[in-house]
């Protein structure tokens, strides 16, 4: 999904058997429930229809909960078609596609020192300090939340880089040259 799809909290139209439905993005405020229902899918090594089909067969109740959170699928239609595992697996595949930010397998970055005290509040505070309101953060789709975090991290990194350059320039420059450098930073 593209950035505008994430930013506008759009949904994907989908035809499940004979019913037009929408597949929605998970919002940050519902992430705890979503994570519970999506757990068996997230544990898969890959997201092929065959692998998803096995999860659908073994965890149909969690799949039903997942569909209730992120689709407009009528529960009666779901239960009526519960034996149609292939269609349900295809629906779950589309849910994974729409909520790719959650299901994406990222390589773990190695850190020298692990900080076990990190929490969601750190991420929220980071976005609040970047100008977002807490209610807006909770209502963001998870994919937009992740992209905003990455953007704020890039901006913060660029700011630190600029400070380091200015510090190094100040240390090595003559007074006149440094004043010229600083005045060049003004708009």
Dump pLDDT digits (tens) for 22-63: 999 999 899 999 999 999 999 998 899 999 999 999 999 999
Confidence of residue 86 (pLDDT cuts 50, 70, 90): very high
CA distances from 57 to 34, 79, 80, 92, 150 (A): 19, 14, 15, 12, 36
- Say if residues 9 and 25 touch (Cβ distance below 8 Å): yes
Rounded to the nearest 10 degrees, how much is the dihedral formed by the CA atoms of 97, 7, 156, 173?
Answer: 120
Among residues 36, 47, 44, the alpha carbon closest in space to that of 98 is found at 47
The whole-chain average pLDDT of the chain stands at: 84
pLDDT at 144: 83
More confident: 21 or 180:
21
| H or E element that contains 20 | strand 19-23
Mean pLDDT, residues 63-92: 93
pLDDT value, residue 72: 95
Identify the residue with better confidence: 16 or 112: 16
pLDDT > 70 fraction of the chain, expressed in percent and rounded: 88
Burial label for 84, CB within 10 Å (0-12, 13-18, 19+), is: middle
What would the 3-class secondary structure string for 108-170 be? Answer: CCCCCCCCCCCCHHHHHHHHHHCCCCHHHHHCCEHHHHHHHHHHHHHHHHHHHHHHHHHHHHH
* Band of residue 175 on the pLDDT scale cut at 50, 70, 90: low
Q: What DSSP string describes 25-52? A: PPBGGGHHHHHHHHHHHHTSSS--HHHH
């Amino acid at each position: 999904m593209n950035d505008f799809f994430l930013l506008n909290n759009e949904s994907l139209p989908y035809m499940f058997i004979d019913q037009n439905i929408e597949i929605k993005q998970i919002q940050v405020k519902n992430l705890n429930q979503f994570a519970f229902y999506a757990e068996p899918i997230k544990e898969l090594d890959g997201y092929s229809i065959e692998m998803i089909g096995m999860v659908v067969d073994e965890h149909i109740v969690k799949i039903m909960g997942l569909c209730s959170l992120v689709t407009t699928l009528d529960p009666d239609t779901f239960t009526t078609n519960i034996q149609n595992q292939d269609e349900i697996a295809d629906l779950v595949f589309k849910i994974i596609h729409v909520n790719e930010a959650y299901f994406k397998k990222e390589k773990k970055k190695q850190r020298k020192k692990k900080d076990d005290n990190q929490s969601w509040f750190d991420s929220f505070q980071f976005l609040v300090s970047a100008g977002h309101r807490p209610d807006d953060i909770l209502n963001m789709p998870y994919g937009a939340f992740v992209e905003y975090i990455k953007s704020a991290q890039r901006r913060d990194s660029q700011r630190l880089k600029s400070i380091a350059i200015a510090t190094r320039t100040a240390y090595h420059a003559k007074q006149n040259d440094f004043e010229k450098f600083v005045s060049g930073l003004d708009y």
